[in-house]
Chains A and B, each alone.
Chain A
Amino acid sequence: MVSSTASAVRPMIVAERLSKAFGGRTVLRGVDFEIGEGEVFGYLGPNGAGKTTTMRLLLGLLRPTEGTARVDGQDAGRSLDARRRIGVLLESNGLYPRLSAFDNLSYYAQLFEVPRAKERVAEMLELAGLTERRRDKVGTFSLGMRRRLALARALLHRPAVLFLDEPAAGLDPEAQKLVRDLIASLSSDERITVFMNTHDLDDVQRICSRVAILCDGRIRADETLKEWNARAEASGLVPTLVDENAVEEASRVLGELPDVATCEIDGRTLTVSTHRELPTASVIRALEANGIALHEIRRARQSLEELYLETVREAGEDA
């Protein structure tokens, strides 16, 4: 299921055999990926899978036990220059509650030596919709306002690579849309590469160009959204039989077909999930050859959520 999506475009984030152990506990086991310029990479996985550890390794906050992590060809842990090209929005917004919105952005503008800092700060406050509140202390802001301000801070120095941890968490639907649209436009218009840790499959479907699933420290799936969607389309068939008494036999027959993963029975209907696209004709032929009469057959489309849960379940079984 892991595809080698080596991009023709310039690789901006590269993880090679990336592993990390804390004491005797291995959290990340040989993770490999290469994210090209302008890609929006959704990094999914259950809690404790190692998503935050991966992000911290890429940001140079942790040293890998094995392997390498590079951002725009450099190790962010060692190179201050690499860090200039990175913008981050982490789970904790990283804002100073006792300082004003303006002071928060100005501080980072100075640390990143942003040219024409005042104008840029004003521009980003406008983007966050906080111009009116620029002199107010961040401690008085709502969660959504803080998230928007933190995103503005992440974009302040015009980074080439953005690391986002649950970017839309805590936002109302309107603000969520604004954030999603912004990320999509940053990727398409400014060719910013986005690495996004998320649990929100809705976010993934709307803005990611590529999705990887991490389970138990290993990447279990890494595909473009197009490939995911194709797989979702091709992931199942639902034949309904004429005679309910024939379902057990039909289940056995279909279970023997190549690429059939599972076959679930519900009355006289079977739900056949497959590893890859299975032609409807081969199901019809197999049933007819065994004298099983078919009432109708249709394709089942799995949601990304179902595919995600299936991948996580399979990973659990492997472990």
Chain B
Amino acid sequence: MFRPLEPIDGWTRALLGVAFFVLFVGGWSIATFGGFVSDTFLADPLTMVREGWLLLTRYGFAHDIAMTVWRVLGGFVLAALVAVPVGLLMGAYKPVEAFFEPFVSFARYLPASAFVPLLILWAGIGETQKLLVIFIGAVFQLALRVAVSVAGTRRDLIEAAYTLGVPPGRIVRRVMIPSAAPDIAEILRLVLGWAWTYVIVAELIGSSSGIGHMIVESQALLATGQIIFAIIVIGVIGLISDFLFKAVNRRLFGWKLA
């Protein structure tokens, strides 16, 4: 059973995956129902579900979720619109790379969360500020990774295109973009995942709506059940968006997986 890389069948895989969740909730239940942890610090699973239901039905949590999703998508789409073309040019043309690369490499280590106070000064606490946090968090990572992927286009494919009469000005369009497209889609999927962590940070400070805002309010009320529920919601949404992204990629780039 434990031979390296030995495949397992679908049922075993699903069973093992579910087993961990069961163990996790089991351990949580023992800790809370057994009285090992004070309910001030950690709510039990049933309380969590009850409070989550209340949040959704009574306190308009659905609106918070919608706000957060919109911020993530908005900031992320803006970042992608800037980063993908810039990354393409950086990957394809060495002078463009030489121009942007040092700054982008530096900027991607700037923590997006540290910009929150500054962005509040610049843009207030409205939507612009939230979008900017996501944008800053995603744009440099995206540009750099797209550039690396495009620069890694197989040289022999480019040469083959040359011998088929493609002029240098059209190599990017006819070879580099289609060849890097599946990679770029994967990069987008990955960085979208990170965007979720930035949005919560942005909402923790100076916000009047969103999942992050709800978490801060729940903390003031010591409603740990609500906090855990919110965190789980974020996880589930992340999982769904990841799943959708993967499905679309598989459909668009069948040639890579066929």
Do A and B assemble together?
no
